[in-house]
Structure 1
């Protein structure tokens, strides 16, 4: 049984992760917030033993096995490095850091310390995406030619704030959503984007940060990828389309935290539904993390996966700024 500390009294921890830790037999011993009153209220509301404001105090607990980091993006690096130095396993929200250099340092530090370090890329744990990946690998649509990802949504009221106003905290739709799409495409295709072109905009909610982005990626195999991310689309539905020489996979409403939409395979024989498991995607992610901690496997998305998704997002951001085709720099990974 893993004993967890929450670094960040966050919405995602409350809505998804605390339940996932407990459903896998873990317990949550402590929660950290910069605000002592918030830490205490949060701990009481969620049945957590201790609310605290000192990271050093949390990490000094010899009974603590792992931490889950869900603070604003600019805090991830220092908090993860402290946890790694204390010998704690780390599950970190995406993006791992605000720069690719910091993310690489985090991964290398965890490797040197011998602790499990994972990125909480949740979509690859969804039954829908596992079924899609398996269908692609089995050749059910032939050789893949192109991919379209539609991840334009309306950002919920309770998540607005730094995501829409603070570049320093890692705000903007590129840091928040492009990293998800990069990881999802990598998961399905088993390869990494080579270079990208992109445009971004403030289309209604962003205040000094982009709230919409479109980009095209070139893959080593020649596959072309189109993506659209936004915080401003009230009436859009998310989707993923993968087109091959012998068919296509059409998935609707599968890019959110509850990707329970419809998935179809279309071939010359017609359309047929692609069934998939309906397990909790965060439960699945934590299960694989726990298995890795036990030395019996690897996390669903490890630190290198986090580095690579951030590298794609950085390239998209640079391409949008410069108007130039930009090579993705994976820093040797």
Structure 2
């Protein structure tokens, strides 16, 4: 039975072919670059030409730790380096659009972080700027490339569970938002900075919904200003539905981070190990129950990589493939406009108490 997993594993493979690899420069030397971007790029065999950060000492420290050969004194110096083909932007969301514009105007391909832009209009502007210059722009929505999610999506596309009928994420964890001090004071929090991962992953399996409803709330005594508990319902044509139920105020220690895709002939379910002991995490799990194969009950799939750092190589690898072969990255800026529209609709629903049609 293990042999049937070979095409599924191939669909979840994060290998970046040698002929696709181009030099990458990174803007930002924060924790996510330190623990995820640089380790993932090193494992993928990518060349990082250098780092730039507003804090030169931090940039030098991170560069030294990961064997990055240089740091740049300014963004202009980075963009003047003729060897740089791709700029990976890993900064706070407010600073990202301006840096992306400068990189695109300098003729560089760009990988942005999520959220791609503060609003759809800004995202559309960046996409248009990239297309006008014949450049590729992608978004680091790396949960799509997590092995458990990617394998589940491949099983759905292979028809193993028949026609999909529902997809759910249930996450009940305790998050210390003080690790990102700027998040403590933002009005919008959970949907745009966390559930965006799950929403984008759902889009990668089911596509865009027609109608959404969302409710969000806080809990007494929480430090963060914005919402930390949300329930988002996505309605698709016919009887297909999706649900994202998340709380970050679990004070009893029984962490949960699970997902499931149901279909007419089976189901796929798994866990996101990273969230059980963030940022250290534990291995993901994935199981499939299929009347198509058949599996005779639940059959475990052997997940071998993790969301962080491994899946971070996915968006970059997809971007590099698009540069080398043409076409669009899987998480292209244009595709991610759909995720931004979904976020806007969910917040409009949260504010009004009414469903919103996309």
Normalised by the size of structure 1, how large is the TM-score?
Answer: 0.88
Match of residue 236 from structure 2: 219
Structure 1, residues 157-208: CA drift from partner, whole Å, max 9, x if none? 67332223224xxx5111112221121111122x201221111112253532
Question: Do structure 1's residue 278 and structure 2's residue 278 form an aligned pair?
Answer: no
Structure 1, residues 242-286: CA drift from partner, whole Å, max 9, x if none? 222222222223675868322222357752224255243223433
1:1-333 to 2 correspondence within 5 Å? Answer: 1-52=21-72, 54-156=74-176, 159-167=179-187, 172-189=189-206, 191-203=207-219, 204-233=221-250, 234-253=253-272, 260-266=283-289, 270-276=296-302, 278-279=304-305, 280-295=310-325, 298-328=328-358
Q: Relative to structure 1, is the Cα distance of residues 131 and 38 closer, same or farther in structure 2, using a 3 angstrom cutoff?
A: closer
1:153 CA displacement? 2.7
Q: Do the aligned residues in 2 keep the contact of 1:20 with 1:283 (CA within 8 Å)? A: yes
Structure 1: gaps of 5 or more residues: 329-333
Q: Distance in 2 between matches of 1:283 and 1:207?
A: 31
Structure 2: gaps of 5 or more residues: 1-20
Task: Report SS of the residue matched to 1:238.
Answer: strand
Q: Relative to structure 1, is the Cα distance of residues 20 and 296 closer, same or farther in structure 2, using a 3 angstrom cutoff?
A: farther
Residue-pair matches, total: 324
1:13 CA displacement? 1.1
1:105 CA displacement? 1.1
1:29 CA displacement? 2.2
Q: Do the aligned residues in 2 keep the contact of 1:124 with 1:300 (CA within 8 Å)? A: no
Match of residue 12 from structure 2: none
Q: Distance in 2 between matches of 1:327 and 1:36?
A: 46
1:83 CA displacement? 0.7
Structure 1, residues 33-88: CA drift from partner, whole Å, max 9, x if none? 22233333333333333334522222122121111111111111111111111111
Q: Do the aligned residues in 1 keep the contact of 2:145 with 2:311 (CA within 8 Å)? A: yes
Stretch moving more, 61-70 or 27-36: 27-36
How large is the Cα RMSD of the aligned pairs? 2.4
Normalised by the size of structure 2, how large is the TM-score?
Answer: 0.82
Structure 1, residues 274-321: CA drift from partner, whole Å, max 9, x if none? 425524322343333222222356423111232111211121111111
1:120 CA displacement? 0.8
Q: Relative to structure 1, is the Cα distance of residues 157 and 202 closer, same or farther in structure 2, using a 3 angstrom cutoff?
A: closer
Stretch moving more, 129-138 or 266-275: 266-275
1:222 CA displacement? 3.4
1:125 CA displacement? 1.1
